[in-house]
Amino acid sequence: MKSVHTGTEKSGFLLMEVVLALFIFTVVATSFTKALSSLWRNTSFVKEELVITQIMDSALNEALFLNRLEEGSREIYVPERDVNLETQVAELELENDDGSLLAQMWEVRVIARFTQDGKDQERRVRGWRYLPIYRP
C-alpha cells in the first residue's frame, strides 16, 4: 500500500521558520534603529559644539584685531544660538629675554555661556596680541 503525503506535516515547520525569521528581523531592525538614533544624537551634539566654537573664534578675532584695545569687559548675546559671550581684555605685564617690559601686550578672553542638553555649559578661549607688531 502506498502512502500519500498531503504536505500537512511540514506546514508546522514553515510557521516556525516564519516566526523565527520575524524575530531575527525585529532584533536587527531594533538594533539598527538604536544605532541610527545614537548617531543622530552625537552628530547634533558635535554640530552644536562646532557652531559654539565658530562663534567664540569670531568674537576672539574681532577683539584681537581692533586697532585700539582697552581694558575691560563687554557682553554680547547671540539670540540665534542662545549664547552669552563675555569678552575680557586685560593688559599683560611681560618681560622679554633682556628683562625689558613688553608694553602694549594684551590678553583677550572670550567666555561663552549656553545651555546644551538641559545643562548649563561654559567654554573659554583666549589669545594674546602685541600691538606694536600690528601697527602700520
Is the whole-model pTM more than 0.75?
no
Q: Are 59 and 85 in contact (CB under 8 A)?
A: yes
> Which tens digits make up the pLDDT trace of 4-35?
655 555 556 788 888 999 999 999 999 999 99
Q: How far apart are CA 85 and CA 127, in angstroms?
A: 15
For the chain, the structural domain boundaries read 11-134
**Tens-digit pLDDT profile for residues 57-113:** 999 999 888 888 889 999 999 998 899 999 999 998 888 888 888 888 899 999 999
Confirm if 131 and 108 have CB atoms less than 8 A apart.
no
Mean pLDDT of 32-47: 93
